[in-house]
């Protein structure tokens, strides 16, 4: 039989996290979905990616689909580029004034978040456009010459341009951008990045885009340079779709939630295969936990904040907290036990990995018998139990704590569970959703170890653990389509009916822009679209997104009542923004699950601690559980990319698509 051709690029999805770099691909010979987890390389994340591609594909060309945290980390750590901010004269300090909202109402001494642009890097232009798009004053050529000279002397890495009302008429912005192009410095222009109203949020988004451009461009160039001949790379966007390296370099603000977005796509797709459309995704990794609510389909928001700064590009509605397997335990000044947000990361990592010296959530789970030491990463990496016991006890003595090692470990798990439960409430109960109507989809390397206790606390009916849970974000990236998001502010008032013909004309303009963008990047295939309206009652300050169509008005009233408890059907409604999502479906071959046990260990007896009691349970390899097979807790289900803990009173069943479904058999009493 002739060998398969190796000239066809192998499609690999890679999600870079704080602790692990997760890789998934479909094996061309067996058709099985494969996974590889490597420790991340924080100093140069592209190194772990290159190592992974080399192990998986050798010299074969690849199509790399990448979810990255480089943009997020650059924002959190303030390690972006030096930005020059150009705006309407008199509004140079708008990015520092912000909304003047007080995050702590009674704290007169709180530290305001420093803007990304220093005062001496803010430049004003004599120009003005009114709210209707009428140009009142145009920038003069001589002034733009002086501006160019001043910016050149300041030596910025990137330039952000955001004029008042440029969303209504971009002429003055375009003239200024054309004059500054001669500096050959990356430009971020608001009418291209975010043609919407609210000058502070628009300016903040454009500044963040410019701030990330130098970092992301260098990083993506390193990735491209590490790939062999015939290989291509694409980046996951925060909105849940792929884009080209060129677009990601030009608009990196759209990638700040790149990796977690893949998890939302993967969780929703896997749950739907089991027949569950309403889910809460629970992604617990090594450094953080990401949660999202999917009410039929993933929800996109335009009101996100990253590092305390508003980012108004489309993002999947994901809430992140500093709670992961590597989260460090500590005692505060009052002697209370705390967990996170600080993390041991990939280096030094938890104590049980062999280099860390301060206890983490992973260490606590190991001490409680909930993490099998010899089956971590499918048996490819053995956790050091004795080192963990010894260093944890020594650390507790140094902290002058009277807690035993086991009581301390239980406390760590309870606290991190409380932190994650609060995060789930933010995306569900706080938004008017009843958690009893949703299934909890657990993924990430540590998610399935904590999921049952969280589901019980929130009265959720079931937990779903997909195949390859520790690499589900990468699976979601592998399944993602190529997506373009376009928007425009209208601020149109309407009484009881929508101006449908004029809205159709505006949407057609956005569709033309999307098709041109796909064509420019060389994407073949049919373009599909979704149309959305952002609406509010006249006089309100914020809006609600609803699908455009004949039921848009009634849907707005219903959504307003669900979210706020009332609706004003007789009031006039205002159409604030229109949004278009366009996508081209990617073709993925059908894949079989392959959870890869490293050895046929079968069932093994073990001791686990729950509620202060040591209970005897069993460890099972996931691949040894056939369809319809049920296992009752206490038990551990082990697999290459993650570990599932089945507490007492719970049972797990493998359904027809290979997902594990965990349900509570009996209510536990205190």
What is the residue extent of each domain of the chain? 10-75+218-254, 78-215, 258-321+437-477, 482-584, 604-664
Query: Comparing 10-75+218-254 with 258-321+437-477, is the CATH topology the same?
Result: yes
Residues 6+ apart with CB under 8 A from 248: 216, 220, 235, 237, 254, 255
| Nearest C-alpha neighbor of 203 from the set 217, 215, 185, 191 | 191
Q: DSSP code of 54? A: H
- Strand 83-88 vs strand 158-162: parallel, antiparallel, or unpaired? parallel
Report the SS3 class of residue 526. coil
Q: What is the mean pLDDT of residues 607-634?
A: 89
pTM value is: 0.84
Q: What is the pLDDT of residue 137?
A: 96
Sign of CA dihedral 187, 47, 281, 477: positive
Strands 62-67 and 33-39: unpaired
Instruction: Tell me the Ramachandran region of residue 111: left when phi exceeds 0, alpha when psi lies from -120 to 50, beta otherwise.
Output: beta
Architecture, CATH, for domain 258-321+437-477: 2-Layer Sandwich (3.30)
CA 18, chain centre distance (Å): 13
Least-confidence region, from 140-144, 375-379, 479-483, 605-609: 375-379
Angle ∠(548,552,553) on CA atoms, nearest 5 = 145
Smallest CA-to-CA distance from 180 within 131, 143, 211, 231 is with 143
Which of 45-59, 98-112, 177-191 has maximum average pLDDT?
177-191
The confidence band for 594, taking pLDDT boundaries of 50, 70 and 90, is low
Cα–Cα distance for residue pair 35/30, rounded to 1 Å: 14
Structure tokens at 96: 């520092």
Q: Evaluate whether 191 touches 166 at the Cβ level (below 8 Å).
A: yes
For 426, other C-beta atoms within 10 Å of its C-beta total: 13
The residue behind tokens 């995050």 is: 103
- Residue 115: how many other CB atoms lie within 10 Å: 21
| The predicted structure's pLDDT at residue 592 | 59
Enter the DSSP assignment of 32: B
Give the position of tokens 């159409």.
575
| Buried-state track 459-473, b at ≥16 Cβ within 10 A, e below 16 | ebebbbbbbbbbbbb
pLDDT above 50 (res 633)? yes
Residues 370-398: pLDDT tens digits?
A: 999 887 776 778 899 999 999 999 999 99
| Burial call 55-90: b when 16+ CB within 10 Å, e when fewer | ebbeebbbbbbbbbbbbbbbbeeeebbbbbbbbbee
pLDDT digits (tens, 9 = 90+) for 268-327: 999 999 999 999 999 998 888 889 999 988 888 888 888 788 999 988 888 888 888 889
Whether the Cβ atoms of residue 87 and residue 162 lie closer than 8 Å to each other: yes
Residue 670: pLDDT band (50, 70, 90) is: very low
CB 155 within 8 A of CB 141: no
**Most confident by average pLDDT, 170-179, 542-551, 640-649:** 170-179
H or E element in which residue 443 lies: strand 439-443
C-alpha to C-alpha distance for 87 and 516, rounded to whole angstroms: 29
Residue 413, number of CB atoms within 10 A of its CB:
21
What integer pLDDT is reported at residue 111 of this predicted model? 78
Q: Phi-psi category of 275—alpha, beta or left, where left has phi over 0 and alpha has psi -120 to 50? A: left
The answer, yes or no, to whether residue 138 has pLDDT greater than 70, is yes
Higher-confidence position of 538 and 69: 538
**Residue 520 — very low, low, confident or very high, per pLDDT cuts 50/70/90?**
confident
Beta bridge partners of 494: 573
What pLDDT score was predicted for residue 597? 43
DSSP designation for 138: P
Q: Which two tokens stand for residue 242?
A: 């792929």
d(CA 511, CA 508): 5
- pLDDT computed for residue 378 by the predictor: 67
- Angle CA(318)–CA(321)–CA(323) in degrees, nearest 5? 130
Highest mean pLDDT: which range of 36-45, 95-104, 319-328, 358-367: 358-367
pLDDT of residue 513: 93
Q: Which CATH number fits domain 78-215: 1.10.287, 2.60.40, 3.30.450, 3.40.50?
A: 3.40.50
The CATH H-level superfamily of 10-75+218-254 is ATPase, nucleotide binding domain (3.30.420.40)
Answer CATH for 482-584 from 2.60.40, 1.10.3470, 3.30.1370, 3.30.1490? 3.30.1490
Summary mean pLDDT of the chain:
89
């Amino acid at each position: 039989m002739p060998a398969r051709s190796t000239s066809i690029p192998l499609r690999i999805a890679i999600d870079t996290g704080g602790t692990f770099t997760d890789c998934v691909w479909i094996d061309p010979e067996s058709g099985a979905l494969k996974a590889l987890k490597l420790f991340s390389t924080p100093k140069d994340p592209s190194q772990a990616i290159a190592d992974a591609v080399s192990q998986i594909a050798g010299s074969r060309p690849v199509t790399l689909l990448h979810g990255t945290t480089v943009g997020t980390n650059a924002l959190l750590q303030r390690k972006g580029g030096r930005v020059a901010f150009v705006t309407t004269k008199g509004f140079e300090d708008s990015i520092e004034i912000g909304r003047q909202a007080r995050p702590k109402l009674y704290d007169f001494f709180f530290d305001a978040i420093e803007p990304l642009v220093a005062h001496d890097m803010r430049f004003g232009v004599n120009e003005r456009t009114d709210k209707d798009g009428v140009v009142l004053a145009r920038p003069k050529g001589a002034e733009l010459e002086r501006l160019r000279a001043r910016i050149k002397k300041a030596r910025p890495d990137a330039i952000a341009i955001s004029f008042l009302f440029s969303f209504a008429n971009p002429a003055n912005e375009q003239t200024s951008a054309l004059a500054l192009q001669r500096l050959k410095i990356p430009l971020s222009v608001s009418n291209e990045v975010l043609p919407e109203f609210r000058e502070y949020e628009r300016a903040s988004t454009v500044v963040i885009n410019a701030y990330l451009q130098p970092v992301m461009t260098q990083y993506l160039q390193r990735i491209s340079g590490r790939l062999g001949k015939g290989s291509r790379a694409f980046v996951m966007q925060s909105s849940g779709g792929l884009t080209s390296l060129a677009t990601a370099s030009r608009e990196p603000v759209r990638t700040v939630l790149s990796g977690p977005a893949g998890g939302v796509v993967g969780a929703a797709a896997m749950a739907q295969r089991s027949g569950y459309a309403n889910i809460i995704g629970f992604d617990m990794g090594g450094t953080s936990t990401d949660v999202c609510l999917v009410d039929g389909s993933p929800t996109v928001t335009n009101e996100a904040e990253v590092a305390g700064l508003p980012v108004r590009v489309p993002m999947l509605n994901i809430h992140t907290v500093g709670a992961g397997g590597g989260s460090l335990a500590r005692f505060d000044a009052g002697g209370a036990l705390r967990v996170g947000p600080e993390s041991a990361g990939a280096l030094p990592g938890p104590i049980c990995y062999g280099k860390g010296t301060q206890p983490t959530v992973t260490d606590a789970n190991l001490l409680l018998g909930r993490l099998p030491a010899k089956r971590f990463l499918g048996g490819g990496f053995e956790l050091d139990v004795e080192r963990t016991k010894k260093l944890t006890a020594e650390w507790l003595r140094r902290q002058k704590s009277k807690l035993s090692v086991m009581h301390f470990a239980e406390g760590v798990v309870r606290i991190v569970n409380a932190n994650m439960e609060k995060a789930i409430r933010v995306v569900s109960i706080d938004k008017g959703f009843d958690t009893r109507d949703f299934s909890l989809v657990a993924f990430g390397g540590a998610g399935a170890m904590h999921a049952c206790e969280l589901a019980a606390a929130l009265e959720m009916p079931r937990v779903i653990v997909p195949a390859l849970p520790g690499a589900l974000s990468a699976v979601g990236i592998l399944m993602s389509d190529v997506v373009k998001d376009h928007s425009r502010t209208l601020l149109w008032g309407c009484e009881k009916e929508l101006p449908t013909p004029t809205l159709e004309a505006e949407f057609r303009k956005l569709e033309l822009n999307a098709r041109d963008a796909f064509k420019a990047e060389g994407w073949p295939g049919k373009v599909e679209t979704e149309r959305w309206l952002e609406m509010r009652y006249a006089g309100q300050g914020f809006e609600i997104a609803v699908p455009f169509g004949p039921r848009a008005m009634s849907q707005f009233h219903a959504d307003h009542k669900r979210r706020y408890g009332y609706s004003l059907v007789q009031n006039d409604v205002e159409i604030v923004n229109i949004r278009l999502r366009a996508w081209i479906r990617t073709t993925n071959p059908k894949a079989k699950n392959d959870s890869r046990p490293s050895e046929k260990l079968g069932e093994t007896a073990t001791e686990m601690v729950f509620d202060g009691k040591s209970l005897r349970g069993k460890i099972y390899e996931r691949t040894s559980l056939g369809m319809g097979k049920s296992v009752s807790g206490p038990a551990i289900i082990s697999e290459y990319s993650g570990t599932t803990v089945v507490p007492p009173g719970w049972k797990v069943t493998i359904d027809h698509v290979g997902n594990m479904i965990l349900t509570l058999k009996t209510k536990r009493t205190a």
